[in-house]
Amino acid sequence: MKFLSKIFYFYYDGFRNMTLGKSLWLVILLKLLIIFGFLKIFVYDKSLKVDFKTQEEKSKFVSQNLMKF
């Protein structure tokens, strides 16, 4: 347990003493949110939200749609 607390305080002290790093982490997090938001809205396929009765139906649907590309 003491080992985990040493690791925690190592990172805690490092992030607390950052000046430029805090703003860089903020930029990184904002970029990730924007990227994943864009992917969720425009890229992810919504056709799998259809309820399939069995796993076989779902896998058949996916394999047929992969063959189209």
Per-residue pLDDT of the chain (69 residues; tens, 9 = 90+): 899 999 999 988 888 888 888 888 899 999 999 999 988 888 776 666 777 888 898 888 888 888 775
- What's the one-letter identity of residue 63? S
Cα 23 vs. chain centroid, distance in angstroms? 21
> Among all chains, which residue has been given the structure tokens 């305080």?
9
Burial classification of residue 51, based on how many CB atoms lie within 10 Å of its CB (0-12 exposed, 13-18 middle, 19 or more buried): exposed
- How many residues belong to the chain? 69
H helical segments located in 1-69: 2-16, 20-38, 55-68
Q: Look up residue 17 and give its DSSP letter.
A: T
Is the whole model's pTM more than 0.85, yes or no?
Answer: no
